[in-house]
Amino acid sequence: MRRIRITFQTVSEESAENGDFEETGWINEEGETVEPDDYDVDEHGSESAAAVALAVKIIGRGCEASDYPNVCVGHTWYTETDADVDYSNGNETTQSFHLDGFSEEEERAIYSEITGR
Protein backbone atom coordinates (compact mmCIF):
# COMPACT_ATOMS: atom_id res chain seq x y z
CA MET A 1 0.00 0.00 0.00
CA ARG A 2 1.37 3.38 -1.01
CA ARG A 3 0.97 6.19 1.47
CA ILE A 4 2.38 9.57 2.40
CA ARG A 5 3.01 10.22 6.08
CA ILE A 6 3.06 13.86 7.19
CA THR A 7 5.07 15.50 9.96
CA PHE A 8 5.38 19.09 11.14
CA GLN A 9 8.19 21.17 12.57
CA THR A 10 7.75 24.50 14.35
CA VAL A 11 10.58 26.97 14.84
CA SER A 12 10.33 29.78 17.38
CA GLU A 13 12.72 32.70 17.73
CA GLU A 14 14.27 31.04 20.79
CA SER A 15 14.58 27.59 19.20
CA ALA A 16 16.15 29.15 16.09
CA GLU A 17 18.83 30.75 18.26
CA ASN A 18 19.57 27.28 19.63
CA GLY A 19 19.53 25.70 16.16
CA ASP A 20 16.60 23.46 17.02
CA PHE A 21 12.86 23.10 16.62
CA GLU A 22 10.36 24.34 19.17
CA GLU A 23 8.11 21.38 18.44
CA THR A 24 7.92 18.45 16.01
CA GLY A 25 5.45 15.65 15.53
CA TRP A 26 3.03 13.80 13.34
CA ILE A 27 0.13 15.38 11.50
CA ASN A 28 -0.78 12.04 9.94
CA GLU A 29 1.31 9.11 11.17
CA GLU A 30 -0.93 6.51 9.49
CA GLY A 31 -0.43 8.31 6.20
CA GLU A 32 -2.64 9.40 3.38
CA THR A 33 -3.31 6.45 1.09
CA VAL A 34 -2.22 6.87 -2.53
CA GLU A 35 -4.08 4.23 -4.50
CA PRO A 36 -5.22 5.31 -7.96
CA ASP A 37 -8.67 4.30 -9.16
CA ASP A 38 -9.57 3.22 -12.70
CA TYR A 39 -10.19 6.81 -13.78
CA ASP A 40 -6.70 7.87 -12.58
CA VAL A 41 -5.08 4.94 -14.39
CA ASP A 42 -6.94 5.77 -17.63
CA GLU A 43 -5.95 9.43 -17.33
CA HIS A 44 -2.23 8.77 -16.69
CA GLY A 45 -1.73 5.59 -18.72
CA SER A 46 -0.62 3.25 -15.94
CA GLU A 47 -1.16 2.61 -12.25
CA SER A 48 2.40 3.69 -11.47
CA ALA A 49 2.11 6.97 -13.40
CA ALA A 50 -1.22 7.66 -11.70
CA ALA A 51 0.31 7.01 -8.25
CA VAL A 52 3.12 9.45 -9.04
CA ALA A 53 0.64 12.11 -10.15
CA LEU A 54 -1.47 11.66 -7.01
CA ALA A 55 1.61 11.83 -4.76
CA VAL A 56 2.82 15.03 -6.42
CA LYS A 57 -0.65 16.50 -5.96
CA ILE A 58 -0.61 15.68 -2.22
CA ILE A 59 2.95 16.90 -1.66
CA GLY A 60 2.72 19.95 -3.89
CA ARG A 61 5.48 21.57 -5.86
CA GLY A 62 6.35 24.12 -3.18
CA CYS A 63 8.66 21.66 -1.44
CA GLU A 64 12.32 20.84 -1.43
CA ALA A 65 13.79 17.37 -1.21
CA SER A 66 15.89 16.25 1.74
CA ASP A 67 18.47 14.87 -0.70
CA TYR A 68 20.41 16.81 -3.29
CA PRO A 69 21.22 16.42 -6.12
CA ASN A 70 19.78 12.90 -6.39
CA VAL A 71 17.01 10.94 -4.73
CA CYS A 72 18.02 8.47 -2.03
CA VAL A 73 15.28 5.90 -2.53
CA GLY A 74 13.55 5.03 0.72
CA HIS A 75 15.13 7.97 2.55
CA THR A 76 14.06 11.13 0.74
CA TRP A 77 11.33 13.33 2.18
CA TYR A 78 9.92 16.66 1.02
CA THR A 79 9.55 19.80 3.16
CA GLU A 80 7.53 22.90 2.40
CA THR A 81 9.66 25.90 1.50
CA ASP A 82 7.13 28.47 2.70
CA ALA A 83 6.32 28.24 6.40
CA ASP A 84 2.99 29.10 7.95
CA VAL A 85 3.68 32.01 10.28
CA ASP A 86 1.80 32.53 13.54
CA TYR A 87 1.89 36.32 13.69
CA SER A 88 0.93 36.35 17.37
CA ASN A 89 4.28 34.84 18.40
CA GLY A 90 6.38 34.64 15.21
CA ASN A 91 6.54 30.83 15.19
CA GLU A 92 7.00 29.26 11.76
CA THR A 93 5.61 25.82 10.97
CA THR A 94 6.34 23.65 7.95
CA GLN A 95 5.15 20.21 6.95
CA SER A 96 7.23 17.33 5.63
CA PHE A 97 5.97 14.48 3.46
CA HIS A 98 7.44 10.96 3.79
CA LEU A 99 6.86 8.33 1.09
CA ASP A 100 6.02 4.78 2.11
CA GLY A 101 5.31 1.79 -0.15
CA PHE A 102 6.28 3.39 -3.46
CA SER A 103 8.52 1.54 -5.90
CA GLU A 104 12.03 2.81 -6.62
CA GLU A 105 10.88 3.93 -10.07
CA GLU A 106 7.93 5.82 -8.56
CA GLU A 107 10.11 7.52 -5.96
CA ARG A 108 12.51 8.67 -8.67
CA ALA A 109 9.62 9.99 -10.77
CA ILE A 110 8.16 11.88 -7.77
CA TYR A 111 11.57 13.38 -7.04
CA SER A 112 11.92 14.46 -10.66
CA GLU A 113 8.45 16.03 -10.75
CA ILE A 114 8.93 17.97 -7.51
CA THR A 115 12.53 19.10 -7.97
CA GLY A 116 12.69 19.37 -11.75
CA ARG A 117 15.84 17.22 -11.68
Q: b or e along 62-72 (b: 16 or more beta carbons within 10 Å of the residue's beta carbon)?
A: ebebeeeeebe
Per residue in 81-116, pLDDT (tens digit) is 999 999 999 999 999 999 999 999 999 999 999 998
Query: CB neighbours of 111 closer than 8 A, spacing ≥ 6?
Result: 65, 67, 70, 71, 76, 117
Is the pLDDT at 69 greater than 90? The verdict is no
pLDDT in tens, 19-58: 999 999 999 999 999 999 999 999 999 999 999 999 999 9
Q: How confident is the model at residue 66 (pLDDT cuts 50, 70, 90)?
A: very high
13: domain range? Answer: 3-115
Q: How many domains does the chain have?
A: 1
Beta strands 63-65 and 23-33, pairing class: unpaired
pLDDT for position 68 = 82
